[in-house]
Amino acid sequence: MLRRRDFISTLGGAVVAWPLAARGQQPATLPTIGLLGANTAATQSKWNIAFAQRLNEHGWVEGRNVNIEYRWAEGRNERFAEIAAEFVRLKVAVIVTSGTAPVIAAKQATSVIPIVFATAGDPVGNGLVASLARPGGNVTGLSLQTIDLAGKRLELLREVLPGLRGLAIMANVGSPIAIAEIGEVQVAARTLGLEVDALEIRRAEDIPLAFEALKRDVGALYVQADPLTTSNRTRINNLALAAHLPTMHGNTENVEAGGLMAYAPPFPNLWQRAADFVDKILRGTKPGDIPVEQPTKFELVINLKTAKALGITFPQNILATADEVIE
């Protein structure tokens, strides 16, 4: 049975210091968490489960002593600001989201309501926080440091595809972290003697056009982790398979949906930690006083079914070190 603490005695009057749910929406005694889902509900199902379970472990039970309002942007950039504005109108106690662009939209919508990000790329460089150790302001969470992983991902691709000479990177250039990751991929590619073709997308309709624009000498596709690419992961993987292109992804969910491989932190773990941050905030800690954390665990996930369809045989050392093998 999930452990539940006495909400009233533990909190005292702390929660009333935070904005309560809008009248007519929820009982005024319950704080509301506004969850801005950057992807689709189906895409984030495992993340949401991990988040809710950790909240329960802290004693927060949805509908009993806390409410959660879910909204889904489905990878559409224009929806981030709309949802953030709605949460401000609802006067939620805290906004929770993931992805650099959604966090920026939330911060632009409010400087008062606490914001917790389960993932964000380079939050200092993008002006989300003053520093990792002392965020300041109303924003904190977990830094993905996405660009630091680009070199490792390319090394893995080269090991699986020793004859690789050129690759493409598909990235949502509407997000500032995507621009940085494209640059990091290009730098890492040069050290490995690889040519890089950047496929710039901004909306779902751009995806098939990007594949049509692929150069003939491209031998693999690096898919930048973003709400747009994640929400459209099945479509991207199907088009890549049709083009006979092996894919490297920035989250494991894309591999479960038919991608070839991924090297990334386990996102459910990051959402669990985000729940820890929310618990502290609901109990009275200011978000600016909670240091931003960085993931310490990274997983290599490979899809043997996709590998077989592409005629790829994984080296034994890769198979031995993989954290998960999908067959």
Residue 297's SS3 state is coil
- Alpha carbons within 13 angstroms on the beta-carbon side of residue 83 total 28
Q: Rounded mean pLDDT of 46-70? A: 96
Q: How far apart are CA 307 and CA 315, in angstroms?
A: 12
Q: How far apart are CA 88 and CA 298, in angstroms?
A: 34
Q: How far apart are CA 231 and CA 233, in angstroms?
A: 6
- pTM value? 0.84
Q: How far apart are CA 67 and CA 78, in angstroms?
A: 25
Question: In the prediction, which pLDDT does 147 show?
Answer: 67
Of the listed ranges 24-38, 67-81, 130-144, 199-213, the one predicted with least confidence: 24-38
Give the 3-state DSSP-derived string for 20-87, with helices as H, strands as E and coil as C: CCCCCCCCCCCCEEEEEECCCCCCCHHHHHHHHHHHHHCCCCECCCEEEEEEECCCCHHHHHHHHHHH
Query: In the predicted model, what is the mean pLDDT of the chain?
Result: 90
Question: In the prediction, which pLDDT does 148 show?
Answer: 73
Q: What is the CATH architecture of 7-144+266-289?
A: 3-Layer(aba) Sandwich (3.40)
Residue 23: is its pLDDT beyond 90? no
Q: Rounded mean pLDDT of 46-72? A: 96
pLDDT band at 78 (very low <50, low <70, confident <90, very high): very high
Q: Rounded mean pLDDT of 83-91? A: 97
Question: In the prediction, which pLDDT does 86 show?
Answer: 98
Question: In the prediction, which pLDDT does 323 show?
Answer: 96
Question: In the prediction, which pLDDT does 35 show?
Answer: 98
The amino acid that residue 72 corresponds to is W
pLDDT band at 29 (very low <50, low <70, confident <90, very high): confident
Of the listed ranges 15-19, 164-168, 188-192, 248-252, the one predicted with least confidence: 15-19
CATH code matching the domain that covers 147-264+299-326, chosen among 3.40.50.300, 3.40.640.10, 3.40.50.2300, 3.40.50.720: 3.40.50.2300
Residue 3: is its pLDDT beyond 70? no
Q: How far apart are CA 228 and CA 260, in angstroms?
A: 19
Those residues with Cβ within 8 angstroms of residue 300's Cβ, 6 or more apart along the chain or in another chain: 156, 261, 262, 263, 318, 321, 322, 323, 324
- Token pair 């009982």 is found at 27
Q: Rounded mean pLDDT of 68-96? A: 96
Residue 312: is its pLDDT beyond 90? yes
pLDDT band at 144 (very low <50, low <70, confident <90, very high): confident
pLDDT band at 28 (very low <50, low <70, confident <90, very high): low
**Helices and strands per DSSP (H, E), number in the chain:** 13, 12
Residue 26: is its pLDDT beyond 60? no
For 181-240, how does the pLDDT look when each residue is reduced to its tens digit (9 = 90+)?
999 999 999 999 999 999 999 999 999 999 999 987 899 999 999 999 999 999 999 999
DSSP secondary structure code for residue 135 in this structure: -
Q: Are 267 and 252 in contact (CB under 8 A)?
A: yes
Domains in the chain: boundaries = 7-144+266-289, 147-264+299-326
Q: Rounded mean pLDDT of 159-169? A: 95
pLDDT band at 61 (very low <50, low <70, confident <90, very high): very high
